[in-house]
Chains A and B, each alone.
Chain A
Amino acid sequence: MSLAPGAGLADSGAMPIPIIIDGHAIEAPPGASLIQAWISAGLPLTENVGCMGQGVCGACRVLVRREGERIATAALACETRAEAGMQVAFIDHFPARRPHAYDLAAMGDSWTALGQVDAVFPEAKHCRHCGGCDAACPKGIEVQKAVTLAVEGRALAAGALFDHCVMCNLCVAACPEHIAPAHLGQFLRRMANSLTLRPGDLIERIRQIEDGSQAIDLDSPGAAP
């Protein structure tokens, strides 16, 4: 038995699906994701792969053009199933480098926090409203709206729009103004949590641990069968 993900698909008896990935004309097992189609064709997989199906790591970015369509759209290869006539190109990742530097620990004064948005991400106010980021996002996030809200100072509302962002950085690649929307989103979310999330039960328990009233008895009766 083959242990390859999606290996069972080939046994269904249905016709294989012809697609082209990165110039390789291959036959995908019916139902296979694009990543599964790639490995089932015997092609080597060493990069642009991570969680391999959960759609949560953002590694397997592809451009996909379906038969009869003019425009290619961005997608995640692990979440997209092969369709006859698809043309697919993996979008490689370049080494991570962050030009938008900030230090959360140095943001002691929350009155200055909103001003930091413009200081760290000055490009955001130059948004051309071209919609490229929205078109690029494989998760359907309203990226451009979030950038607009951030510029208006609505930090929490803007950050909330990035709630399920997987940091695939497709919006970063798409933005002609180098706004780096996904990282702007992370900045807003991290700032909000580090400055305003103070759970009372957590704080009380930490106080108890520090004053010694939560000692652990390593050899209590409950620590043995």
Chain B
Amino acid sequence: MIAWDQALAAPRDPAPPLPSDRDALLRGFHPDHAPGAMERLRVGVSAGQPCPAALADLLQSNALVEDVDIAGRAMREAEVLVLGGGGAGCIAALTAARDGARVLLVTKLRMGDGNTVMAEGGIQAAVGAEDSLQRHYEDTLRAGHFRADKALVAAMVRDGPASIRWLIQQGMGFDLEEGEDRIGGHLLRKKPGGATAARLLSFRDYTGLELMRVIREAVLLTPGITVLERHPVVELLTDPHGRCAGAVLLELGRREIVLARAGAVVLATGGAGRLHLNGFPTSNHYGATADGLVLAYRLGAGLREVESFQYHPTGIAWPPHLAGTLISEAARAAGGLLFNGLGQRFVDELAPRDVVAAAILREIAEGRAAAREGCEGVLLDTPGLEAANPGILAKRLVTLSHLAHRAGFDPAREPFLIRPTLHYQNGGIAIDAEGRTAVPGLFCAGEASGGLHGLNRLMGNALLELVAFGRRAGAAAVEAARGDRPRGVGLTHLAAWERGLVAAGLPLDRRAPMVFPPYGNVDLAAMLRQRVAA
């Protein structure tokens, strides 16, 4: 590795990088391919599938509660129960309530405290005259190494432009091209890494914040939605036929178990970055602990591509108190270049994220990284970007400039030191185009679901997915909830699950969901036991 002073002094050569064999790069350096990173699931409907070991431990664990814990507890009623208060959950709740359903939305932190509000880059929709739905469809499949579900991708892509219209109708703003009119003008479009057309629509470099604050306000003002914050879900409820019929919640304020019964459940619990797979830092919010995956899997919902995670190329490597914090791809989409400690470019900055991340890890592994106070990474050349586009840092990359300020340097004079950060769960719970899982009554949307991104997600498809499938799952859940109120609701599914664990030789005393990361100093199992004993 090269010392920071030397790396800064090295003349940066803008010559294009030498082409490299992408497959070999991914096999050699992407964390998904690290030796020992994966194991095969041994129990459940997706037994045999590869899965990161830390996630497999959670998926193959026992429940936090049993029958005695839920006996006699207060029961809340709703037609549609939404688990998760990020973008997908709020949009599903809005959709269901507007379709006439009584909705209960529960979330373990506060509504909006999720990954959606942190999304910076933007949202994809093929609106350019030179662009088409077909190109968006093919770009998405190709970036995901052709492992995504074609019908799901086509549904998402087709919903793209109408999703943008829907967001504007809720009051969301989008940037227009310089000087364009608000009526009839053209949207500002950027080209996401791995795409063939400029298709990324945005609001500054805090698109997710703009989306989330608008949607949260809409939820608060929509009659028919009850919101329970600080109520993590600790188990799902079923009827005697195996249909999902509600959830067991933990009211953190009173440390009490509360039950929620519903005709249909939408699971929108997000991703898993706080598992810190392979020891990586994460860009995710505090609650991204794969809770929904664990609960749905225990109930019999299949998983897909859970072996695939996205490591965002540009996480902060230095300073340590910001390690893992994201620098938006917008910086590279706008022309920002990456240099190793020798001042050489080493990858096409706008290649798909998995390729760029693997290339950075290669530079680190092969000794060409720069090191600052012991933190290793490569340079994101913000001074070069500012020199080529004067004013861009202040005007269009506001969040990035703010981040540099907090790190204690001027991005127009000094580059960022960056390295990949665990960013997104590419796979998840298998769904159909209406957001249905394999379990009757259980729907899924957003990062928790799988099939939209294959083995690698394109920038801007996460926000599009959560709008398109939040709406689809919300509408489908209303349809499913029309019918008899669920009866005989309980934890009947757990007996078979425990038998499965025993048969596979797995321990019964490992309990999940995790709910809070270990460094949050919360022993949830103990909290529940204490409650029951009291």
Q: Do A and B come from one complex?
A: yes
Query: Using a CB–CB distance below 8 Å, which chain A residues touch chain B?
Result: 1-9, 12, 31-33, 36, 39, 42-47, 49-57, 59, 79, 81, 93, 95-98, 101-105, 163-167, 183, 186-187, 189-194, 196-202, 204-206, 209, 214-220, 222-225
A6-B320, A190-B171 given as contacts; is B117 within 8 A of A50 (CB)?
Answer: yes
A5 near B323: Cβ-Cβ < 8 Å: yes
**Residues of B in contact with A, size category:** 35 or more
Question: In the bound complex, do residue A31 and residue B127 qualify as a contact, i.e. CB atoms below 8 Å apart?
Answer: no
Per-position binary interface string of chain B over residues 81-116, scored 1 when its CB falls under 8 Å from any chain A CB and 0 otherwise: 000000000000000000000000000011111100
Q: Quick check: is B257 within 8 A (CB to CB) of the other chain? A: no
The answer to whether the Cβ of B304 comes within 8 Å of any Cβ in the partner chain is no
CA distance A97 to B170 in the complex (A): 19
User: Which chain B residues border A2 with CB–CB below 8 Å?
Assistant: 519
Contact A51 B117 (CB under 8 A): yes
Closest B residue to A103 using CB positions: B221
Residue of A51, A104, A214 near B132 (CB, 8 A) is: A214
Chain B residues with CB below 8 A from A95, complex form: 227, 229
Stretch of B158-166, B471-479, B501-509 that contacts chain A: B158-166
Contacting residue for B217 out of A163, A166, A190, A225, CB 8 A: A190
Contacts known (A54-B118, A95-B229); A59 close to B169, Cβ less than 8 A: no
C-alpha gap A164/B208 in the complex (Å):
12
Could you tell me if A199 and B174 are in contact, using CB atoms closer than 8 angstroms? yes
Task: Decide yes or no whether B41 CB sits under 8 A from chain A.
Answer: no
A187 neighbours in B (Cβ, 8 Å): 217
Interface residues of B (CB under 8 A from A): 109-114, 117-118, 125-129, 132-134, 137-138, 141-142, 146, 150-151, 154, 157-158, 161-162, 164-165, 168-174, 176, 182-187, 204, 206, 208-209, 213-214, 216-218, 220-221, 227, 229-230, 252, 276, 279, 281, 285-287, 319-326, 373, 375, 398-399, 402, 406, 516-522
Contact B151 A42 (CB under 8 A): no
Contacts of A42 in B (CB 8 A): 521
Contact A198 B118 (CB under 8 A): no
Shortest distance from the beta carbon of A175 to any chain B beta carbon, whole Å: 18
Chain A residues positioned under 8 Å from B161 (CB to CB): 202, 205-206, 209
Please, how many angstroms separate the alpha-carbon atoms of A59 and B109 in the complex?
9
Query: Distance (Å) between the CB of B473 and the closest chain A CB?
Result: 21
Are A197 and B173 interface neighbours, CB within 8 A?
Answer: yes
> Do B521 and A218 have beta carbons less than 8 Å apart?
no
In the bound complex, residues from chain A placing their C-beta under 8 Å from that of B399 are: 54, 56
Q: How far is the CA of A194 from the CA of B75 in the complex (A)?
A: 39
CA distance A165 to B117 in the complex (A): 12
Contact (Cβ within 8 A) B213 A96: no
Q: Is B221 a contact partner of A101 (Cβ separation < 8 A)?
A: yes
